[in-house]
Amino acid sequence: MPEIVLHYIWERCLWAGMEQQTTDGRKVEILSVGTHNRDAGPDYSSARIKIGDREWVGNIEIHVCSSDWQRHRHHIDKAYDNVILHVVRTADKPIYNSKGELVPQCELNYPSDKDYLTALFSEAQQMDSAIRRIGCAEHLIHDPKLLSDGWRKTLLRKRLECKKASIDRLLEITKGSWEHALYISLARNFGFHTNSVPFEQLAINTPLSYLQKHRNNLFQLTALLMGQAGLITANSEGTNGEWAKEYEFLRTKFGLTPMDGSMWKQARLRPQNNPKLRIQQFAQLLYQSENLLSKILDTDDLKELEALFKVSPEWLSCSGSKPVGKSSIDILLINTVIPYKYAYALHRNDRAKAERIMGLMEKIPAENNTVVRQWKVLGQAVSNAADTQALLHLYQNYCQHENCINCEVGFKIFENKQLTLF
């Protein structure tokens, strides 16, 4: 059986109704299959399972045979230390993580009819994981207007409200400091999804006040961030070695502890998403951006907002880095700048301004990712970031959770089916 079929069975919950247990006989309850990871690292993240009486949250790795774990060298890769369950067709040997800890395994129990599995293999090859989660796909192909402009606008507003809720939580953590909360949000979004979690952790572990003490020295800012990220060592050579020496001084000065560098995903990445490059760009942004929060809040001009994230050429030579590209700046505007302006307007009870800020999304080019491309396949018009953000929210909060009855499209389909019964 190809591994893709096991992924399909796991993600579509085709094991439902069948008892699952670990290879040592403990009962396994699958509470959430997690989110499919298309980058380096375990196959599914943020899964929730119960083994015996204990509930676990973490990563899931799927293989045909247990021995594939060692063949793929996961036993020496720290990125797989948070795997809470190894799901296999055949458990041919026990497996261990890089800490030497035994990893629980489950021989997945699922319908074993050969014709059924052959059909699954064909379907798994033909259908992308995103479109499999869009339950109304066939209806939208025949009538794309089922998804109305009004529902799109509501979805965009819901998307921004969710981002506002995240900002509110950061404000609680930072004791009401909008500047500090912005710093953490920007860091997370500099991870550009693949490394968003370690980038956020880097910002939390490296207080903004420490960086501000050295904000006029790009070399020290870069050394402090690279060192805290755990991506340079004392025996590094060249520029990395110089950063390592400076970091050791700063680490002692502030009493800091670096992150575990294995948290960063570095394999199978496009060069512009290399975490070392992104950290250098982030250091450059902090270096050039005095009073960044005020500048963001004081203008609604998109060109002026874009300019805040462009790095002057004379600063680039200090670290040999590259400037942040136009598409990356657009993502930062979509995921950080506009949500902060929106949240701040609501904080001041200015609903009219919040609506105007929401309109800035229409001036930013459409995002290009797997989910957006699937909506295009279904005949949906995608003209700008307002469209893509609405469609992403629809997919992530309705389609993936089969929350169709609370979606305008699903309700219309349900209503039409009810009418045909009378």
Q: What is the pLDDT of residues 136-192, one digit of tens each?
A: 887 887 888 999 999 999 999 999 999 999 999 999 999 999 999 999 999 999 998
User: Is the separation of the CB atoms in 178 and 184 below 8 Å?
Assistant: no
Q: Which residue has the tokens 């295009």?
A: 376
Domain boundary among 342, 363, 384: 363
Any domain includes 339 = yes
DSSP state of 18: S
- The letter for the amino acid at 177 is S
For residues 33 and 173, membership in a common domain is answered with: no
**DSSP H stretches of helix in 72-148:** 114-126, 129-132, 137-142
- Residues ≥6 apart with Cβ < 8 Å to 166: 185
In degrees and rounded to multiples of 5, residue 36 shows phi and psi of -65, 125
- The letter for the amino acid at 415 is E
Any domain includes 230 = yes
For residues 193 and 320, membership in a common domain is answered with: yes
> Residue 270: which H helix or E strand, with range?
none
Domain count, the chain: 2
For residues 103 and 191, membership in a common domain is answered with: no
Whether residue 339 is predicted with pLDDT greater than 90 in this model: the reply is yes
Averaged pLDDT, 271-294: 90
For residues 355 and 208, membership in a common domain is answered with: yes
Any domain includes 381 = no
**What is the predicted pLDDT for the residue at 386?**
97
Whether residue 193 is predicted with pLDDT greater than 70 in this model: the reply is yes
For residues 175 and 120, membership in a common domain is answered with: no
For residues 119 and 156, membership in a common domain is answered with: no
* Residue 35 pLDDT grade (very low, low, confident, very high; cuts 50, 70, 90): confident
- The letter for the amino acid at 82 is N
Averaged pLDDT, 64-87: 91
d(CA 70, CA 1): 19
Any domain includes 69 = yes
d(CA 42, CA 37): 7
For residues 178 and 327, membership in a common domain is answered with: yes
**What is the predicted pLDDT for the residue at 117?**
61
Averaged pLDDT, 56-69: 93
**264: number of Cβ within 10 Å:** 25
For residues 285 and 339, membership in a common domain is answered with: yes
Whether residue 232 is predicted with pLDDT greater than 80 in this model: the reply is yes
Considering the chain, what is the average pLDDT of its residues? 87
d(CA 225, CA 128): 38
Counting Cα atoms < 13 Å in the Cβ hemisphere of 312 gives 7
Give, in order, the Cα–Cα distances in Å from 417 to each of 83, 241, 407, 414: 43, 67, 15, 5
Averaged pLDDT, 98-108: 94
**What is the predicted pLDDT for the residue at 119?**
61
Write b or e for each residue in 312-336: b if 16 or more Cβ atoms lie within 10 A of its Cβ, otherwise e. eeebbebbebebbeeebbbbbbbbb
**What is the predicted pLDDT for the residue at 16?**
79
Quick one: how far is CA 265 from the chain centroid? 12
For residues 300 and 204, membership in a common domain is answered with: yes
For residues 122 and 156, membership in a common domain is answered with: no
Domain boundary among 363, 389, 416: 363
Domain boundary among 363, 380, 407: 363
d(CA 338, CA 344): 10
d(CA 83, CA 104): 9
Nearest to 267 by CA among 79, 35, 69, 75: 79
User: Is the separation of the CB atoms in 339 and 345 below 8 Å?
Assistant: no
For residues 22 and 91, membership in a common domain is answered with: yes
Any domain includes 103 = yes
Any domain includes 163 = yes
Any domain includes 393 = no
d(CA 336, CA 191): 12
For residues 14 and 86, membership in a common domain is answered with: yes
Question: Which residue range is the domain that position 177 belongs to?
Answer: 151-363
What are the CB-based long-range contacts (under 8 Å, 24+) for 209-216?
Answer: 210/250, 210/254, 210/256, 211/286, 214/250, 215/286, 215/287, 215/290, 216/287
Any domain includes 349 = yes
In degrees and rounded to multiples of 5, residue 3 shows phi and psi of -60, -30
